[in-house]
Amino acid sequence: MSQRLKLEVKALNAVEGQDLVILVSDKLTLAAAAESLAGESAQALLTRAAAAERFKGKAYAGLTLPSPQGAPYERLIVVGIGADADRADLDFVKLGGAVAGRLGAGRSAEVLLALPKGEIAPAQAADLALGLKLRAYVFDRYKTKSKEKDEAEPLAVTLKAADPSALKKALKAADAVAAGVVLARNLVNEPPNVLYPEEFADRAAKLKKLDVEIEILDEADLKKIGMRALLGVGQGSRRESRVVVMRWNGGKAGEQPVAFVGKGVTFDTGGISLKPGAGMEDMKGDMAGAACVTGLMHALAARKAKVNAVGVIGLVENMPDGNAQRPGDIVTSLSGQTIEIINTDAEGRLVLADALWYTQERFKPRFMINLATLTGAILVALGQENAGLFSNNDELAERLGAAGRATGETVWRMPLGKAYDKMIDSKFADMKNSAGRHAGSITAAQFLQRHVNDTPWAHLDIAGTGMAASNSEINRSWGPGWGVRLLDRLVAEHYEG
Ligand code: BES
Ligand code: MN
Ligand code: ZN
């Protein structure tokens, strides 16, 4: 339903689609292969049109032309890749997005991977394919009136390569990652009456098909284990809370896993500390951390990553009710520490406290990374451009930074420290769940750090990046599926094999 792209790979020969897409550098020279397919007059046509439109082959810019006289396609689409000297900085995922955007839905097109000098490498072409897929995504499950859209053919793209077999291999991994991002986007976009904790757990359980081991812990299990901080958040909801444990065992038997933990508040009203009404509908996205973890597990399993990975998601709904948690309540978390509830809207840290403690104690992971739409304050600090990164481990933090720069899902490191930690000391309990407005994202992170023991750990505050996304070349949907590519990259670079 939301995958709107059919993708094939074929050798260079005739053009069979409606559109022919050609990549050109700032020299605007067609490749020999392009000249033979585009028709003799294509270069002249391009040179003339480029001058008229001031098109200079700048990266991601494009030009749409009618095909040259007698050519067997409708449109010649030229997309820039900039100067040869800048090629190393070219983002092929973004380029794929630009190509898909220029083509539009319901078209069929051939994309020539040939360049004046050589051809785009398989890994880069795979990135381009990933960008095509991500740009073609739409979430229109609940549109009944856009019939034309539903019945429209998906965008059909054929990548034309000199050696299709090398490319097909590279495309498999890109497919897996694209499917993981799409899953995360779907979960974030779903409305909260449809996607409540049990339903989320059922969707995660579908990963069994990819040989991911799934355990669903229900409220009786959680009580027995002692996850009272998490259960306190869900106690005002008619929907039962759940914790889902996902395990992908693609690494050596007995090797310590890497672990990912997600905040999955399927709707956050604030609870008794009720949020203001304006914009509250956005709080359906307060499970973006859990969505990312689920999408990542999908990606790792689908591409058969050589790693042991654990995903743990805490799923609750935060509602006001006669049975809801109150400000002033004191709960004992799984770690044995007591928490004074100051503000029932600071619920994400309560969910994660138990999920993090559980994960480190049970799995003894090599590292633990949690993702959470945790604080409005991180939006004030970083906007939607960077996720906030907090870590007790410099190596992990640096690796995340590098993976962010490589994928465009960038993170910015924020401080942790004793003075901030003191701010969450409580008059009545071991700690309090809110320390007020000052350094709001940092004190939230300090709270989490009190629940990770000495495990190498990183916390990504994705309140800015994980939902309500603005349009980009690779995403037009409210839920961007942020973090799946970042963490897949981190695992691929450092923790496989
Ligand atoms: N889910 C919110 C944070 C949030 C805000 C996510 C905006 C996405 C966009 C979180 O549960 C929350 O309410 N945090 C409070 C914490 C405060 C009460 C200490 C906040 O940020 O105001
Ligand atoms: Mn909240
Ligand atoms: Zn929340």
Query: Could you give the CA distance from residue 131 to residue 158 in angstroms, rounded to a whole number?
Result: 14
CB 375 less than 6 A from any atom of ligand 1 = yes
| Spatial CA neighbour of 230 closest among 186, 265, 275, 267 | 265
What is the average pLDDT across 91-109?
A: 97
Residue 344 exposed, middle or buried by CB count within 10 Å (0-12, 13-18, 19+) = buried
Which ligand 1 atom lies nearest to the CA of residue 268?
A: 1
Q: Give yes or no: 275 in active site.
A: yes
CA distance to 141, 146, 331, 473, per residue, from 137 (Å): 12, 16, 42, 12
User: Judging by DSSP bridges, how do beta strands 213-217 and 108-112 pair with one another?
Assistant: unpaired
Tell me the pLDDT tens digit for each residue of 414-473: 999 999 999 999 999 999 999 999 999 999 999 999 999 999 999 999 999 999 999 999
What is the 293 CA–ligand 1 centroid distance (Å)? 20
Residue 1 above 80 pLDDT?
no
What is the 402 CA–ligand 2 centroid distance (Å)? 30
Q: What letter represents residue 118's amino acid?
A: G
Could you give the percent of the chain with pLDDT greater than 70?
98
Q: Which of 11-15, 233-237, 288-292, 464-468 has the lowest mean pLDDT?
A: 11-15
Asked if residues 189 and 139 have their Cβ atoms less than 8 Å apart, the reply is yes
Among 374, 380, 442, say which to mutate for ligand 1: greatest number of ligand atoms within 8 Å of CB.
374
Output the pLDDT for position 410: 98
Asked if residues 185 and 479 have their Cβ atoms less than 8 Å apart, the reply is yes
| Spatial CA neighbour of 97 closest among 19, 183, 157, 150 | 157
Check 56, 275, 304, 366 and give the catalytic one. 275
Query: Could you give the CA distance from residue 317 to residue 271 in angstroms, rounded to a whole number?
Result: 9
| Spatial CA neighbour of 316 closest among 351, 292, 282 | 351
CB 465 less than 6 A from any atom of ligand 1 = no
CB 308 less than 6 A from any atom of ligand 1 = no
| Spatial CA neighbour of 354 closest among 334, 373, 379 | 334
Among 341, 345, 384, say which to mutate for ligand 1: greatest number of ligand atoms within 8 Å of CB.
345
For 8, list phi and psi in degrees, rounded to 5. -135, 160
CB 266 less than 6 A from any atom of ligand 1 = no
User: Judging by DSSP bridges, how do beta strands 5-11 and 155-161 pair with one another?
Assistant: parallel
What is the 346 CA–ligand 1 centroid distance (Å)? 6
What is the 269 CA–ligand 1 centroid distance (Å)? 10
The number of the ligand nearest the C-alpha atom of 314 reads 3
Q: How far apart are the first and last CA of the chain?
A: 35
Which ligand 1 atom lies nearest to the CA of residue 373?
A: 6
Strand partners, 362: none
Confidence at 117, pLDDT banded by 50, 70, 90: confident
Output the pLDDT for position 151: 57
CA distance to 191, 195, 289, 427, per residue, from 282 (Å): 10, 14, 14, 34
Asked if residues 20 and 75 have their Cβ atoms less than 8 Å apart, the reply is yes
What is the 36 CA–ligand 3 centroid distance (Å)? 57
Q: Give yes or no: 304 in active site.
A: no
Tell me the pLDDT tens digit for each residue of 143-171: 998 655 555 679 999 999 988 998 998 99
H or E element, residue 350: helix 348-363
Query: Could you give the CA distance from residue 4 to residue 135 in angstroms, rounded to a whole number?
Result: 9
Could you give the percent of the chain with pLDDT greater than 90?
93
- In the sheet with 62-66, reading across from the earlier edge strand, the strands are 5-11, 155-161, 108-112, 19-24, 75-80, 62-66
Question: What predicted TM-score, i.e. pTM, was given to this entire model?
Answer: 0.97
Q: What letter represents residue 336's amino acid?
A: G
Output the pLDDT for position 116: 86
Tell me the pLDDT tens digit for each residue of 310-365: 999 999 999 999 999 999 999 999 999 999 999 999 999 999 999 999 999 999 99
Question: Which one-letter DSSP state was computed for residue 276?
Answer: P
Degrees (nearest 5) of the Cα angle 471, 160, 106? 45
Tell me the pLDDT tens digit for each residue of 184-231: 999 999 999 999 999 999 999 999 999 999 999 999 999 999 999 999
Check 4, 303, 349, 399 and give the catalytic one. 349
Strand partners, 150: none
